Amino acid sequence: MINGLKREELIAMNSMILHVIFFASLGERSEPEGALRDALIRDFGSVSAWAAEFSAMGKAQRGGSGWVLLTWSPRDHRLVNQWAMDHSTTLAGGQPILALDMYEHSYHIDYGAQAAAYVDAFMAAINWPSVARAYAGVARSRDFGLTLGH
Amino acid sequence: MRYKIAPLFCRPWTLNGISARLIESHYENDYGNAISSLNATTAELEAFDPATTPAAVIYRLKRDEAALLNSTLLHELYFASLGGDGRTLPEPMAQAIARDFGSVKRWRDEFIALAYGLAGSSGWILLTYVPRDARLIIHATAGHEQSVAGGIPILALDMYEHAYHLEFGANPAAYVAAFMRNIEWDTALERYQNAVNVEPPPRLKQKQFADLPSITVEEVKGMLDSGKPVQIIDTRPRHYTTRAHEIVQGAVWRDPERVDEWIGELSKAEPVVTFCVYGFHIGCETAVTLRKAGFDARYMVGGHYAWKATKGPLTLLKDTSSPGPGPVMQRIQPVELSADPQLE
């Protein structure tokens, strides 16, 4: 009973947080710049390689529900793309800075089953200045302090 | 193996408040995608070499296969759940639902309430026959891959947002109401009548004790709780009791190899329950011996561990070292829960 309630609490809390990040992820057409651009190139090879993986992860979720998150991993000091289901399977200690909502409610009204078109529209509408602000806020965070010799 | 697509079961143009466009998109894009992805996954599974493929890859493929196969099956059941007027339950269906849910209204309220729980998320609401208990249950799944083991779904409501968002937007209540108005109960009954023919998983059967009366741990607990007199004899083997610490509350331990020495303590006026560790032999044999001597004896199914597994009350086992004839033995008193302070 208590765990059932706490599970629902976690799901609703994460749903709230991830939706906030999702809405903050959208804006006018822009490009990643500065430290964020450098980090994407460092961690994925190139901005387009990052975009290819991120959008492919979104398109692969069509017909289901879940999130695609660009997340800062303090443990490894790097950005990763991660998939999250049930609002709750997020990287431990990770800081999501960009969120693509692949729950069908986010696109079915406008795009029906055309999830790929929705993902393409999202990729074109990423608010990079907003993501860069989020990145600047989390990239300073250190790992858990558990690394030997830290 | 290649899975073949099944034609739509329901006739989309006859549905009341659910448009053909919604069903067409659902069938083409979601059901169709499940079939084609399932076949692609199956092809990969047939092609991999178990000797060289990493276990994680195989696991991922098998997970995908289970989810896609269930998506296929449940979508077919969903389309077959639609096409009726939702109101007219055939009598046997109404009786089964009333038996397991109290009333058709109660079933309906529960089904709808559970569906609301998946609003804005994804999953299935299923009416499933469970052969183990020969009854219907309603359950929700958070994805395609969850199901009740051995259960047979007979009615499926798709709560993935693709099932309604195109027409109903963020108003799942209207969608659920429309689904309820279109349930095809005649075919649900057909599936139910097929499902009830499925045998539950086989239970322990001991041919040599087939005619011996038994009693369940639940029934024994019921007798104790209601204060019915009953003589409960723990006949676990002596070698077992030397390392056991506890005994069923209300029972006394007696050595199964020395029945003759303690049979005189028992009363023929009250029922006797015997049991051993797991309920295989010794408890049964003791019951046979007692019945031959004229006692109303039966064995407790599953024995000591079934009692423990159902959280039956236990007490400290003591004094098994010196049971024997003579003054040590006391007459076994029928247990009356309220009268025995130890059981309070």
- Is the residue at A149 inside a domain? no
Tokens 């059941």 belong to which residue?
A: B77
Tokens of B208: 């040599």
**pLDDT below 70 — which residues of chain B?**
319-344
Write out chain B residues lying below 8 Å of A104, CB-based: 122, 160-162, 165
CB proximity B29 to A under 8 Å = yes
CATH label of the domain that carries residue A111 = 3.55.40.20
Encode burial over B294-321: b for 16+ CB neighbours within 10 A, e otherwise: ebbbbbbbbbbebbeeeebebeebeebe
Q: In this structure, what DSSP letter does residue B171 have?
A: -
* Residue A103 to residue B120, Cβ atoms within 8 A: yes
CA distance A131 to A124: 14
Average pLDDT in chain A: 90
Q: What is the pLDDT of residue A92?
A: 85
* Whether A12 contacts chain B with CB within 8 A: no
Closest CA to A53 of A130, A147, A123, A150: A123
Answer yes or no: do A86 and B33 touch at CB < 8 A: no
Q: Among all residues of chain B, which has the CA nearest to that of A109?
A: B166
User: Can you give the pLDDT at residue A142?
Assistant: 64
- Contact flag A113-B120 (C-beta cutoff 8 Å): no
Looking at residue B251, its pLDDT comes to: 94
CATH code of the domain made up of B12-195: 3.55.40.20
Asked if A26 contacts A125 with a C-beta cutoff of 8 angstroms, the reply is: yes
**B200 in contact with chain A, both atoms CB, cutoff 8 A:** no
Contact A98, A125 (CB under 8 A): no
Quote the mean pLDDT of chain B.
90
Q: Determine the distance in angstroms separating the CA of A82 from the nearest CA of chain B, rounded to an integer.
A: 17
Unique residue bearing structure tokens 């749903």: A15
Identify all chain A residues contacting B162, using CB atoms and an 8 Å cutoff. Answer: 63, 104, 108, 113
Name the CATH superfamily, with its identifier, for domain B207-336.
Rhodanese-like domain (3.40.250.10)
B92 touches chain A (CB under 8 A): no
- A/B interface, count of CB pairs below 8 Å: 45
Q: pLDDT value at position A137? A: 87
B128 Cα to chain A: minimum distance (Å): 22
Distance between CA atoms of residues B99 and B72, nearest Å: 30
Chain A residue numbers with beta carbons less than 8 Å from the beta carbon of B118 are: none
Q: What is the C-alpha to C-alpha distance for residues A29 and B12, in angstroms, rounded to an integer? A: 41
- Residue A40's pLDDT band (cuts 50, 70, 90): very high
- Cα torsion angle, B321, B322, B323, B329, sign: negative
- Domain encompassing residue A69: 2-138
Quote the CA–CA distance of B229 and B226 in Å, as a whole number. Answer: 9
Q: Is A86 on the interface with B (CB under 8 A)?
A: yes
A contacts of B121 (beta carbons < 8 Å): 65, 86, 103
Q: Smallest Cα–Cα separation from B255: which of B230, B204, B289?
A: B289
Sign, CA torsion B101/B106/B108/B109:
negative
Residue B217 in tokens: 């741990």
pLDDT for B163-196, tens place per residue?
999 999 989 999 999 999 999 999 999 999 999 9
Which residues of chain B does CATH 3.40.250.10 include? 207-336
Please give the tally of structural domains in chain A: 1
Identity at A22, one-letter amino acid code:
F
Question: Which of B30, B122, B143 lies at the smallest CB-CB distance from A113?
Answer: B30
Can you give the pLDDT at residue A24? 93
Q: pLDDT per residue over A74-131, tens digit each?
A: 888 899 999 998 888 888 888 899 999 999 999 998 998 899 999 999 999 999 999 9
**Dihedral of the alpha carbons of B279, B276, B342, B314, in degrees to the nearest 10:** -60
User: CA–CA distance from A22 to each of A12, B39, B287, B298 (Å)?
Assistant: 15, 34, 69, 66
What b-and-e string marks burial along B89-104, b requiring 16 or more CB atoms within 10 Å of the CB?
beeebbebbeebbeee
Residue A20 lies in a domain: yes
A109–B165 CB contact, under 8 Å: yes
Within chain B, which residue ranges are assigned CATH 3.55.40.20?
12-195
What pLDDT score does A1 carry? 77
pTM summary value: 0.81
For chain B, the C-alpha Rg in angstroms (whole number) is 28
Alpha-carbon gap, residue B42 to B4, rounded angstroms: 13
Beta strand B246-248 pairing with B314-316: antiparallel
Determine the residue among A10, A61, A65, A83 to mutate to test chain B binding: the one whose Cβ has the most chain B Cβ atoms within 10 Å: A65
Whole-angstrom distance, CA of residue B305 vs CA of residue B279: 8
Contacts of B169 in chain A (CB under 8 A): 109
